[in-house]
Amino acid sequence: MSLVKKLLLSTSVAAVASFSNQVSATDERPIIDYNYRFLPEISRKGMVSSQEAIATQVGADILAQGGNAVDAAVAVGFALAVTLPQAGNLGGGGFMMVHLAEEDKQVAIDYREMAPARAHRDMFLDENGDVDRKLAGYSHLAAGVPGTVAGLHHALSEYGTMSLPEVIAPAIKLARDGFKVSYALESSLAARTKRLTSNKATAKAYFKEGGVPYSAGEILTLPDLANTLQRISDLGLDGFYRGLTADLIVTEMAKHGGFITHDDLTNYKVVERTPVRGTYKGYDIVSMPPPSSGGVHLIQILNILEGYDLQSSGQNSAQTLHLMIEAMRRAYADRSKHLGDPDFYAVPVNQLIDKGYAGELRSLIDPNKATPSSEVAPSKILPDDGPNTTHYSVVDQHGNMVANTYTLNYSYGSGITVEGAGFILNNEMDDFSAKPGSPNAYGLVGEEANAIEPKKRPLSSMTPTLVFKDGNPWVATGSPGGSTIITVTLQTILNMMEFNQNVATATSFARIHHQWLPDRTVVENGISPDTQRLLEQMGHTLVDRKYTLGSTQTVAIEGEYFYGYSDPRRPGAKTIGVDEVKESK
Ligand code: GLY
């Protein structure tokens, strides 16, 4: 029996009665609070939480071998590229937040895709000047220059302790020898058979003869992908951005009217950005800055909410949800105007996360009545000078933490597999505003700040986030979900910070989402009909989307213990704790 299970069973009645989720000061055992409805995974030496169980195990094994959180995160990133093809990737990009325990320092690694040099502002407009959604979503033009391999390589070489061949080996083995298709992957592939099999290379790689989807329990091997991973293992960046893999990408583009060239690939750059920082009632929030809008608006919404007594109004009460919706509405209005790639547009980050500005926005919120979005314009602040993504979180025995969100954009991105290279290309170019004022696939509108330009990075909502309590690293979290990523991450940490919920209960609680336009609030099952009626009486339009919001993968440190939880909203996810580390690297 594992130590943790023993500890769980030995939890005393007295401990239960204390209603604490902290480590007990007297016996140093984790106290399981049965007042909470959901229990997290618990461990002492490390934890990995990801959307796919095999990849989580890969990360836990690296921690158990003595690798640090970055080693494990890079291994998980490569493993998900094999076992979670709907979002794990080599052909996409993302953002990684790292907390380095020894230096007490946080870094924000931007490996978002870049627009090819031949990209131009109107590339997705048809002859009537309307956005051609097929071109923006499903063509070779939809692909930005992939950043994932460069991002994972950068993280490992700067902050890891293991070699690239060591952390990539499990992914190569999974791709070459095959892995058991899960029910989650079977249903995901089956639901998109028509779209995915319309690309010959995708049909060959991810389906059986005749475009038949794999069934759960069958073995999927990905030999072309294994060879690509092997080249990365052998040659590092040159295994992807130069040589055979680059040739295969460029040939694919040239054959099908795509823009990516050898120069685009060799010019791809990872950027370390200054993390965006905020506070909420004594907690420190450290998150991803532009070109993600995630961190900025997470902090802006928290700043607005900080001025209210949410504990008195009550968790998920109509009053609290009203205030949350109004704060979300105002933040997303600002997103539409002010957010874009900071290398091309002077994003007014400091003004947007200013507590005084949040106070001004708060003063415009009627506590009893919804403000129609038509009456909420993006603020007039001036620039300074100037659905499928996946998230995973890792914590190691030293207290290093990683929150990583990466994506192909839609499920399986563009659906196009690079022939001979075995990986799927992103369709991240659709995250640009193809036509200012016209909504993208997530209904998000944008303006000049996010217009298409060569070498620019499309605006993202990805929100890999670290939270600190009393100055100590506490939580690493994030979510997929397109435009909903920010509000899902917000509610998860708010449930922990404001409502003292453990990581599992905070994750499982029902969520809502508002993004300014369209002017409607999405409510998950679990927001009571009474609450919904009260919100409607305040003037809110509610939509029951019939499916769920986001899928957070969260780890937390409490005293000597690590807690973690995989969101139950999407199948296949797993959090695994590590209790023994064989040797320290
Ligand atoms: N592709 C979704 C995002 O980056 O926000």
**Residue 181 CB-half CA count within 13 A:** 21
Residue 86 Cβ inside 6 Å of ligand 1? The answer reads no
pLDDT number for residue 33:
57
- Confidence at 16, pLDDT banded by 50, 70, 90: very low
pLDDT number for residue 10:
30
Centre of ligand 1 to C-alpha 388, Å, is 8
Instruction: Report the greatest alpha carbon distance in the chain.
Output: 73
Residues 6+ apart with CB under 8 A from 363: none
Mean pLDDT throughout 325-345? 97
Mean pLDDT throughout 470-495? 97
Centre of ligand 1 to C-alpha 409, Å, is 6
pLDDT number for residue 30:
53
Residue 84 Cβ inside 6 Å of ligand 1? The answer reads no
pLDDT at 129 over 60: yes
Centre of ligand 1 to C-alpha 58, Å, is 25
Centre of ligand 1 to C-alpha 405, Å, is 9
Centre of ligand 1 to C-alpha 559, Å, is 34
76: left (phi over 0), alpha (psi -120 to 50) or beta: alpha
Residue 463 Cβ inside 6 Å of ligand 1? The answer reads no
Centre of ligand 1 to C-alpha 461, Å, is 5
> Taking Cα atoms as reference points, which of 160, 143, 132, 7 lies closest to residue 75?
160
Amino acid letter at 280? Y
Distance from C-alpha of 405 to C-alpha of 403, rounded to nearest angstrom: 7
What's 466-498 look like in SS3?
Answer: EEEECCEEEEEECCCCHHHHHHHHHHHHHHHHC
Question: To test ligand 1's pocket by mutation, which of 113, 404, 428, 513 has the most ligand atoms within 8 angstroms of CB?
Answer: 428
- Beta carbons of 428 and 93 less than 8 angstroms apart: yes
Q: Can you give the pTM of this predicted structure?
A: 0.94
Residues 6+ apart with CB under 8 A from 236: 153, 164
Residue 315 Cβ inside 6 Å of ligand 1? The answer reads no
Residue 482 Cβ inside 6 Å of ligand 1? The answer reads yes
Distance from C-alpha of 290 to C-alpha of 498, rounded to nearest angstrom: 26
Mean pLDDT throughout 317-332? 98
Q: Whose CA is nearest to atom 3 of ligand 1?
A: 460
Per-residue pLDDT tens over the stretch 185-213: 999 999 999 999 999 999 999 999 999 99
Which ligand 1 atom sits nearest the alpha carbon of residue 409?
1
Which ligand 1 atom sits nearest the alpha carbon of residue 407?
1
| Backbone torsions φ then ψ of 2, nearest 5 degrees | -70, 155
* Mean pLDDT for all residues in the chain: 92
Share of the chain above pLDDT 90, in %: 87
pLDDT at 584 over 80: no
Per-residue pLDDT tens over the stretch 541-581: 999 767 799 999 999 999 999 999 999 999 999 999 999 99
Share of the chain above pLDDT 70, in %: 92
Residue 479 Cβ inside 6 Å of ligand 1? The answer reads no
pLDDT number for residue 401:
98
Residues 6+ apart with CB under 8 A from 347: 290, 296, 338, 339, 340, 383, 384, 449
Read off the tokens for 248.
Answer: 């295969």
pLDDT number for residue 431:
94
Residue 409 Cβ inside 6 Å of ligand 1? The answer reads yes
Amino acid letter at 144? G
pLDDT at 4 over 50: no
pLDDT at 20 over 60: no
Which residues are known to be catalytic?
Answer: 389
Residue 227 Cβ inside 6 Å of ligand 1? The answer reads no
| Backbone torsions φ then ψ of 555, nearest 5 degrees | -125, 150
Distance from C-alpha of 196 to C-alpha of 194, rounded to nearest angstrom: 6
Tell me the sheet residues that pair with 284: 279, 468
Distance from C-alpha of 265 to C-alpha of 398, rounded to nearest angstrom: 36
Distance from C-alpha of 55 to C-alpha of 45, rounded to nearest angstrom: 18
pLDDT number for residue 37:
72
Q: Whose CA is nearest to atom 2 of ligand 1?
A: 482
pLDDT number for residue 34:
53
Which ligand 1 atom sits nearest the alpha carbon of residue 428?
1
SS3 310: helix
Centre of ligand 1 to C-alpha 572, Å, is 21
Question: To test ligand 1's pocket by mutation, which of 390, 430, 462 has the most ligand atoms within 8 angstroms of CB?
Answer: 462
Can you give the C-alpha Rg of the chain in angstroms? 23
Lowest mean pLDDT among 50-54, 179-183, 274-278, 384-388: 384-388
Question: To test ligand 1's pocket by mutation, which of 148, 298, 485 has the most ligand atoms within 8 angstroms of CB?
Answer: 485
Give Cα separations from 252 to 137, 205, 343 (angstroms): 17, 15, 29
Tell me the sheet residues that pair with 317: none
Residue 407 Cβ inside 6 Å of ligand 1? The answer reads yes
Read off the tokens for 65.
Answer: 């071998």
Q: Whose CA is nearest to atom 4 of ligand 1?
A: 460
Tell me the sheet residues that pair with 465: 287, 477
pLDDT number for residue 86:
97
- Confidence at 15, pLDDT banded by 50, 70, 90: very low
| Backbone torsions φ then ψ of 130, nearest 5 degrees | -95, 155
pLDDT number for residue 36:
62
pLDDT number for residue 39:
87
Residue 564 Cβ inside 6 Å of ligand 1? The answer reads no
Residue 396 Cβ inside 6 Å of ligand 1? The answer reads no
pLDDT number for residue 163:
98
- Confidence at 5, pLDDT banded by 50, 70, 90: very low
Centre of ligand 1 to C-alpha 87, Å, is 11
Residue 461 Cβ inside 6 Å of ligand 1? The answer reads yes
SS3 276: strand
Mean pLDDT throughout 166-171? 98
Centre of ligand 1 to C-alpha 432, Å, is 10
- Confidence at 416, pLDDT banded by 50, 70, 90: very high
Per-residue pLDDT tens over the stretch 354-381: 999 999 999 999 999 999 999 999 987 7
Residue 431 Cβ inside 6 Å of ligand 1? The answer reads yes
Lowest mean pLDDT among 240-254, 310-324, 540-554: 540-554
